[in-house]
Structure 1
Amino acid sequence: MLTSSPADGLRFAFGTLSVLPVRVRRWDREAARGGMLCAPVVGLVVGGCAALPGLLLLFLGAGPLLAAVASVAVPAALTRGLHLDGLADTADGLGSGKPADEALRIMKQSDIGPFGVLTLVLVLLAQVAVLAQLYQDSWREGALAALTSAVAARLALTLAARTGVPAARPEGLGAAVAGVVPTWGALAVAAGCTVLAAGWGAVSGPDGAVRAAAAMLLAPAVAELLLRRCTHRFGGVTGDVFGALAETAATTALIVLALGH
């Protein structure tokens, strides 16, 4: 069997977690392991792309609200809205009150129910509201928040793909990545992301470093609560659950960054 290279992992990560034109050459468990360990790298790219239009709009004289909308729209576009769709589907599945098999069937349907619509609206409003507040405080605060939330979202995926987390279905992205990441590897990536976040948060001073590090720690912790609920409710994870975890972590990170401003 061929040994997976770091490049295979990066291609898997960008090919499955973004619309960037990357060709996934391997779709096996070893490549999936590397890909999920590299997931926060995708967050760095997506977060940087999210910050750019916000900064450009501010430079051109637009207000912080429009800049915030742009920074929220870019990650949605770079994922084809799959994370938001997963959030809505997971909300419908959890809110249905049906047995696991039927709840999973509801999640696979193409339409969105009332739980999904309400969850989408509230999450997007929260993200825009926080980014508007931070862009109003400082262009630097808004840009760093877009970056931090995007990395935290993908870190939650790395942690959710750790050993011991089962797949709810035998097919799909959830089955491809469930349990592929060693727990020690997931924790090492989390530690690295936290240190990096504290580093770029320090650009805004000591308080900024603390807030960024706290966001990188608390966002996956809140996503972990949702993960446990989903594994208990559905019997494991699906691609929709991964999307919901990403959006939950991104929103939590933004809220943490807004506290104290």
Structure 2
Amino acid sequence: MVVLENDKLQVTIKLKGAELSSIKDKVSGKEYIWQGNPDVWGYHAPNLFPIVGGLKDNKITISGNDYNLSRHGFARTSMFRRIESTPNHAVFSLSYDDETLKIYPYKFEFEVAYSLSGNSLTILYKVINKDDKKIYFSVGAHPAFNIPLEESEVYEDYFIEFEKEETLVSSKLSTTGLFNGQYKEFGQNTILDLTADLFNEDALVFKNLNSRVVYLKNRKNTQSIKVDFNQFNELGIWAKPGAPFVCIEPWLGYADNELGQKDISEKPGIQTLDHGHVFESNYTISIEK
């Protein structure tokens, strides 16, 4: 475990997956991150690489060859190395090896950096192309926030507020986690109410938002969690039905549709990185009172 802290927050990160496992208010002791009950959902805030979402038959085609990749990729279950650390900043690294090359035939380094400042935590993703050719990848975040946060609240007190008015249309997923060509419409609004049955058909996936900032709020008090994802194109919102959390997930990339894809280079939402180049994208979680 690696701990970052200042006078406001204490943040804990695991070496496995370089996964954020706690954001705790140092005054109240309030925990904002889901604590990963394995009987419900065993993660806290997994980092998604080199794919986001599911693949048709858990396979991806790269340069004419098929490779087995499970949903959301292998980074979330891999052991990272801590390569930098200060009281309020830490960097973790995952490099290609013989095992990753068997399922993802690119030479890469994937870094996850955490920086704590005041009431805000910024998470930076860096992908370094160490291959002699272009590499293709997706990257995403999956933080789960505890709700309700107070004993006097219930799940239905909470809602997600978008920074801009949206015509909210979610691309629907099949039972195998692939897009099925159907959509769920929520109308024109800035508010998405959280209800017990909202995620009965899996995650909500928004591919065409105007907003790049959302707030997790409730109707009982003024505290909120702000997620700023200016450098990401898609947003997933998910919870296991009936569980006391909600995930707000900035993505660059997403699942296959039920027909699958021809090649990773043609996969919608995929990122391209030339030989010797570096990709960076970050998002920020802020605790607002």
Q: Same fold per TM (> 0.5)?
A: no
TM-score normalized with structure 1 length: 0.28
Q: Which structure features the higher share of strand residues?
A: 2
Using CA pairs below 8 Å that are at least 6 residues apart, which structure has the higher relative contact order? 1
Q: Bigger radius of gyration, 1 or 2?
A: 2
